[in-house]
Amino acid sequence: MDFQLTSAQRDLASGFRSFCERRFDRDRLRGLVDRDRPPGMVDRELWAELAETGVFCLRLAEDDGGVGLGTAEAALVFEEAGRALLPGPLVATHLAASLPGRVGTGAASGDLVVGLAAADQFPLLVEHLDAVDELLIRSPDGIRRIDRSALRATAIRTPTDPCTPLHHVATVPDGALIADAAAAERLLREGAVLTAALQLGIAGKLTEMSTRYAREREQFGRVIGGFQAVKHLCADMLVRTEVARAAVYAAAVTLDDPEAGDPAVAVPTAKLMADEAATRNGKDATQVHGGMGFTWEVDVHLYLKRAWVHATQYGGPEEHEEALAATL
């Protein structure tokens, strides 16, 4: 098995990183957090631009109007999305593009913002509800489309991540079944891998931010990166990121070609290692930045809070640990 990226895959990742740097740089991120908060924290103009790049139809066949790429390429794109801290239900809308009917067509084109929640989640929290056009509920028997007008939800006043607003839903009305149990299981695995890719991007960005700060910040007449305590923190962050990268790429390849490995092992492994890399790197990055790391002006805490949110999506640590243990 060759795990080296092809030139086309490198170009894809590089091109999408350039897009993120042009269209969602730090000023736009801070503007979204501090000033211009759109409904559900989804910038419709940015959403349309993401659709034009093919983010949502990336894995659809070309005959169906898609780009015709695989999960391996999607993981590279979502790694860059995590690195840029792009807001919105990106994974849910990308997954919905593979579903039949109006929901799939609208998600693929970017005309619809699609939310996806798990029926067995307690309490049931729905992300970006004020922005989603279609809300889907995943359960073991399939995917259901919920009539939003029949939904009673209460906004959470202080969500962990300011870019991921939440609503608490007490009861879920019956919805129309639009996909079967096999589709629900497939979306869970694909969602876990793509969310792991987002976490990988966060882990890598935190490593970059910390090493750069450690090279610039001086104390006692020398840069703090010269102190072993700080140097070891940065080294550990890099190791965690690269180990997670191998696991995430392996899981993505396995979903494209199950003969390359066992998805039942690769997917939970990738999610666990990427969650660990992102959340622990967030804590270490806060230490490297010292007192500044706790202030609103420094972006480290935005990355850490997003990592905490992603760690609960498409299976939390206990769920993936149990899934992995069941394969032994």
Q: Give per-residue pLDDT as tens, 116-155.
A: 999 887 789 999 999 999 999 999 899 999 988 888 899 9
Q: State whether residue 59 is helix, strand or coil.
A: coil
For residue 291, count CB atoms less than 10 angstroms from its CB and return exposed for 0-12, middle for 13-18, buried for 19 or more: exposed
Peptide bond just before 123 cis, omega within 30 deg: yes
Whole-angstrom distance, CA of residue 196 vs CA of residue 311 = 9
182-191 burial code (b ≥16 CB/10 A, e <16): ebbebbbbbb
Residue 143: Cβ-neighbour burial (10 angstroms; 0-12, 13-18, 19+)? buried
Q: What pLDDT was estimated at residue 2?
A: 63
pLDDT at 309: 97
At 62-114, the pLDDT tens digits run 999 999 999 999 999 999 999 999 999 999 999 999 999 999 999 999 999 99
Main-chain dihedrals φ then ψ at residue 119, nearest 5 degrees: -65, -30
pLDDT reported for residue 324: 94
User: d(Cα 22, Cα 18) in Å, to the nearest integer?
Assistant: 6
Intervals of the chain under pLDDT 50 = none
What pLDDT is recorded for position 1? 52
- Which pLDDT score, from 0 to 100, does residue 108 have? 97
3-class DSSP assignment, residue 299: coil
How far is residue 118 CA from its own chain's centroid? Answer: 16
What's the confidence (pLDDT) of residue 287? 95
Arithmetic mean of pLDDT over the chain: 94
Global pTM?
0.96
3-state secondary structure 95-137: HHCCCCHHHHHHHHHCCCCEEEEECCCCCEEEECCCCCCEEEE
Count of residues making up the chain: 328
CB 89 within 8 A of CB 187: no
CA distance 310 to 324: 19
* Residue 6 DSSP symbol: P
Backbone angles phi, psi at 153, to 5 degrees: -140, 150
